[in-house]
Structure 1
């Protein structure tokens, strides 16, 4: 039987990952993440993101809000402009924990299958 504590831990980790999964489920947000990554440590503003995309500025702003709320990007105000930078480490750490928990559960299932043969 799978350890109940491991199940609870995995469910909590899944819940922590939900904002990431929702944010990254959209192809436009995936492209925005790549455009922000390409901009490097300086970041990129909405005007420059708009020039790289077929999306309107309001649409880009909406997608940036979703990414920001998921913790995937951070705004950096310089003068009157806001530049967006990647902030992925915490999200990837949580996803890595989820993968490890799932692997542990799968190993338990595989072990049980071998024992029953």
Structure 2
């Protein structure tokens, strides 16, 4: 087993508890940064951020690709590329039902990202 794969196994991105303290409180460990960076990178694209918002806020917790595609002035293959990027980053799960694919957000990873970005309000002196 390589040194890198051994250290990457230490961070459970599906856990409900935060992986680490907010970055405003303490430095993010290298292995945690390595695992979380693909999710942040995936969300760095405006179309993927909008897709993630549509999926995460979908009534019933999931949304069909047939509902996502018409919301953009992009081709189906381009939307599929963006959705694949979100899946590969671990932000969404997908399930094929007949000819359609349904997407669900992975709330545990979203909580990890949110916890890392949490900043406490400044105290008044």
Q: TM-score with structure 1 length normalisation?
A: 0.67
Deviation at 1:43, TM superposition (A): 1.8
Deviation at 1:99, TM superposition (A): 5.6
Q: 2:58 aligns with which of 39, 55, 59?
A: 39
Number of aligned positions between the proteins: 94
**Structure 1 moving runs of 4+ over 3 Å:** none
Change (3 A) 1:94 1:31: closer
SS in structure 2 of the partner of residue 71 of structure 1? coil
Partner deviation per Cα, 1:85-107 (whole Å, 9 max, x = no partner): 111313532663x569xxxxxxx
Change (3 A) 1:15 1:95: farther
Q: TM-score with structure 2 length normalisation?
A: 0.63
Change (3 A) 1:99 1:35: closer
RMSD: 2.4
Structure 2 CA distance, aligned partners of 1:43 and 1:99?
25
Change (3 A) 1:42 1:26: same
Greater Rg by CA: 1
Partner of 2:48: 29
- Structure 2 unaligned runs (5+)? 1-25, 119-125
User: Do 1:50 and 1:57's aligned partners in 2 also have CA atoms closer than 8 Å?
Assistant: yes
**Is 1:59 aligned to residue 78 of structure 2?**
yes
